Amino acid sequence: MNEVLRLDRLEKGYNRGKANEIIVLRGASLVIPRGQVVALVAPSGAGKSTLLHIAGLLDTPDSGRVIVNGQDLTGAKDAARTVARREALGFVYQFHHLLPEFTALENIVLPQLANGTARKAAEARAQELLARVGLAARAGHRPSALSGGEQQRVAFCRALANRPALLLADEPTGNLDPTTSETVFSALMELVRATGLSALIATHNLELAARMDRVLRLSDGQLVEAK
C-alpha cells in the first residue's frame, strides 16, 4: 500500500439547517503517499482542526470518504476506528498532553503496552526514541521536570512509539518560542525521516512549512497545492 491517507471530496459543516450554519469543508481532497511530509497551512478558523479530526478518525464528514493506510473507514463503527487510530496513526498536539504522574519513558511505554508490546521491548523502543531526540538522560524525569521543548519532544516519541503509518500534528510547535520551536521541529523532522513516516502537520509558520515535502493550503473549504 503506497498511500497512507486519502481524503476524497470531504464536506463538513456545523449546525446544519440552522441559522448559524457554517460550512467548513467543501470538497476537500488529498492523497499522501508513504514517506511524504505535508504541511497544512490556513488562516485561523479555515478548518485545519476540522480536517485533522476527520483524518484522525475523531470526527466524521457529512460526505466524502476517509481511507487510512488502505482501509476505507468512512462508515466504520467506533471499535474499528479506535483500532485503526491506535495502529496506524500518531497524534501530536500544540500542548503535549503527557501524563504528569509518569516519567518520560513511561509515557512512551504505556501506549505500546496498550497495543500488546511486551514491557522489555517497549522500554527499549522508548529509550531508542528518546536518544534520537537527544533526551536519553531525561528518561526518568516527569513532565513537570522538563522544559516545554523537551516535553514536546517526548510527545513526538510517544506519537511514534507504535510505529504508525501517519503522523497527524496540529501546531506541534505553536506553544514554543521561535528558537525552541526550531530545535523541536528539527527533532521531529529527523525522527520522521529516520522512520520513513508520513506526516500531515498543520502550522502557521510558513518557514517550517517550506521545509516539508509539500505545502497544502486550506482555502474556501478546499485543499490546494501551495508549493
Ligand X SMILES: Nc1ncnc2c1ncn2[C@@H]1O[C@H](COP(=O)(O)OP(=O)(O)OP(=O)(O)O)[C@@H](O)[C@H]1O
Question: Taking CB under 6 A as the rule, does residue 47 contact ligand X?
Answer: yes
Question: Taking CB under 6 A as the rule, does residue 19 contact ligand X?
Answer: no
The cell for 212 is: 516539508
Question: Taking CB under 6 A as the rule, does residue 12 contact ligand X?
Answer: no
DSSP string, 34-72: TT-EEEEE--TTSSHHHHHHHHTTSS--SEEEEEETTEE
**CA 150, CA 172: separation in Å to the nearest integer?**
12
The cell for 32 is: 499522501
Pairing of strands 198-202, 166-170: parallel
Of 50 and 107, CB closest to ligand X: 50
Question: Taking CB under 6 A as the rule, does residue 44 contact ligand X?
Answer: yes
Residue span binding ligand X (CB under 6 A) among the ranges 32-40, 45-53, 80-88, 193-201:
45-53
Give residue 147's Cα distance to chain centre. 21
Task: Quote the least distance from Cβ 48 to ligand X, whole Å.
Answer: 4
Task: Quote the least distance from Cβ 58 to ligand X, whole Å.
Answer: 12
Question: Taking CB under 6 A as the rule, does residue 42 contact ligand X?
Answer: yes
Question: Taking CB under 6 A as the rule, does residue 72 contact ligand X?
Answer: no
